[in-house]
Amino acid sequence: MQSSPSDLLRSAAAIRFGRRRIGVGQPVAVIAEIGINHEGDASVCAAMIEAAARAGADAIKLQTMDPDQNYMRGSESYLLFSRAVLSREDTAAMFDFARFLGMEAFTTAGDAPTIDWIERLEPAAHKISSGLLTNVPALQHAARTGRTILMSTGMADSAEIDEAVAAAREAGAMELGLFQCTSLYPTAREYLNLGAMRWMEARYRAPVGFSDHSVGTSAAALAVAAGACMIEKHFTLDTKRPGFDHHISLDQAGMAELVRGVRDAHVVLGSYAKTLTQQERGQAPRFRRIIVAGRDIAAGETFEESNLALKRPLPGMSGLAPRDWGKVLGRRAPLALRCDDPVPVHVLEA
């Protein structure tokens, strides 16, 4: 599907994200994906939240998955999430701590009872992970809260994204954002497919972002240039720690580097319209050509291509613009001109 610049501008309505908004023209939201890298330890989670704040992240995201509701007993996921459960009280405390530090807080929940108690914590949004995208009952339960829905699209083709977006909106999701995501851990650069964000933005009329599973920080800045309004990146205190998502995560120094790159990319990107600064506008008289005498011209002499020229003027000099070239030809010089004298403006009034 091809999209015009006007399509992209129409698709850019900002959505709520706690005390912030996400969309074109808004600062890019950087989300530190803590997930379950806290390994069930609330004190470690709090330290991660504090480190994310120091790194400049705008939000933290957890994963709040009831193992018995979401995974089969004996599966790797069941064992992993069973080892990394935060209590409801600890989760509420982590949300409060993040907000105290000036960040937004939200989480991924995969079943209706968990979504309900998370909703009571007033998250910035409900996150639908790539693995939950086709779980229409859970998706619609989250959408019925009326809160912003952020969906990752890893492993999904266009028909599956169409179905998920339609289901969310049918259930009442008025504010929806989508992440381009490739569910490979880590993701090689050739599979990031950042260009898909423009396609999603135009197709679904929703702000888009990038859920980054690549190694390093450079892809995030490139994603901003490709249209991302939000960046999600896994976060840890120790990238060398075994298990969980530590190996694909950034530590505080890495997250700070990512934030700097994202902020710089946002500044460099500028606006979606061609605009001129006052400084640049002031440069135009210095660099643009004007119509001048190409040689000495006698008073009454006819202006022709052979006796005119288009030249950059001296400082402070003004004259007729090149667009008036055809209007000047055939008219007569009202006074004698020396080579490089501007053709008088009032020539066009004769």
Residues 294 and 216 in one domain: no
Q: Residue 61 — very low, low, confident or very high, per pLDDT cuts 50/70/90?
A: very high
User: What pLDDT does residue 4 have?
Assistant: 44
Helices (H), 205-248: 218-225
Residues 298 and 201 in one domain: no
Domain boundary among 269, 288, 310: 269
Tokens of 310: 């288009």
Query: pTM to 2 decimals?
Result: 0.87
Q: What is the mean pLDDT of residues 286-314?
A: 96
Task: Calculate what percentage of the chain has a pLDDT beyond 90.
Answer: 89
The answer on 342 and 196 residing in a single domain is no
Residues 201 and 119 in one domain: yes
| CA geometry: angle 26, 30, 32, nearest 5 deg | 155
pLDDT at 272 over 90: no
From 224, 242, 269, give the residue that closes a domain.
269
Which structural domain range is residue 45 located in? Answer: 5-269
Q: What's the average model confidence in pLDDT over 310-329?
A: 96
Per the DSSP assignment, residues forming a β-bridge with 17 are 20
Does one domain contain both 191 and 265? Answer: yes
Q: How far is Cα 122 from Cα 87, in angstroms, rounded to an integer?
A: 17
pLDDT tens, position by position, 185-213: 999 999 999 999 999 999 999 999 999 99
- pLDDT (0 to 100) of residue 2: 40
Model confidence band, residue 270 (pLDDT cutoffs 50, 70, 90): confident
Task: Say whether both 217 and 307 belong to one domain.
Answer: no
Closest CA to 197 of 222, 166, 234: 222
- Whether 133 and 220 share a structural domain: yes
CATH number of 341's domain: 3.90.1210.10
| CATH number of the domain that residue 17 is part of | 3.20.20.70
Number of domains in the chain: 2
